[in-house]
Amino acid sequence: MVRIVNGQEVDTELDISHLVIEDDALLRVWRISPLGYSELTLEQGITEVGESVWLARVGLGLTLWEGEFEEPVMRLWMRWCNQQGQVILTGAERADTEQQRAERLAERLRAMGVNPDELDEV
């Protein structure tokens, strides 16, 4: 396949290994091979929060997750997960988690009579 990028022809080859369909609280996944499609999810698909499917070739899983994500609205989302089905945090989510951890640590230090703002940086 050839496509044009910034006015230049670039040879690209897409290696599409999976077909994923997420529609209104239903997640279905198929592996694509030269022999055809084979479904990785059960025929009814994934319908429950916390259920996941592992994409071995990709090294990631997909899961349904409910919460606020990229917008302040509680809803159902399709998210990447690890092999145990735990959602992989985005950079922003990791930063929020680290900020909360730092705030808890600062509170513990204050409770011990130490002002964290007066500590020397390491």
Vertex 63, ends 51 and 17: CA angle to 5°? 120
Percent of the chain with pLDDT over 70: 86
Would 122 be classed as within a structural domain? Answer: no
The answer to whether 53 touches 62, Cβ cutoff 8 Å, is yes
Would 7 be classed as within a structural domain? Answer: no
Would 10 be classed as within a structural domain? Answer: no
**Per-residue model confidence as pLDDT tens digits over 66-112:** 998 777 888 888 999 999 999 999 888 889 889 999 999 999 999 99
The mean per-residue pLDDT over the stretch 51-79 comes to 90
Give residue 9's pLDDT: 63
Would 67 be classed as within a structural domain? Answer: yes
Would 80 be classed as within a structural domain? Answer: yes
pLDDT > 90? residue 8: no
How many whole angstroms separate alpha carbon 24 and alpha carbon 77?
9
Predicted TM-score of the model (pTM): 0.69
The answer to whether 20 touches 71, Cβ cutoff 8 Å, is no
pLDDT > 80? residue 41: yes
pLDDT > 90? residue 55: yes
How many whole angstroms separate alpha carbon 79 and alpha carbon 96?
18
How many domains, in total, are found in the chain? 1
Largest CA distance in the chain: 68
Q: Please name which of 45, 3, 44 lies closest in space to residue 20, comparing C-alpha atoms.
A: 45
Higher pLDDT pick, 80 / 23: 80
The mean per-residue pLDDT over the stretch 24-38 comes to 88
How many whole angstroms separate alpha carbon 94 and alpha carbon 51?
22
pLDDT > 90? residue 61: yes
Give residue 10's pLDDT: 60
Residues paired with residue 58 on neighbouring β-strands, in sequence order: none
How many whole angstroms separate alpha carbon 22 and alpha carbon 3?
28
Would 109 be classed as within a structural domain? Answer: no
Which phi and psi angles does 29 have, rounded to 5°?
A: -135, 135
Would 35 be classed as within a structural domain? Answer: yes
Q: Which domain holds residue 37?
A: 15-88
Would 54 be classed as within a structural domain? Answer: yes
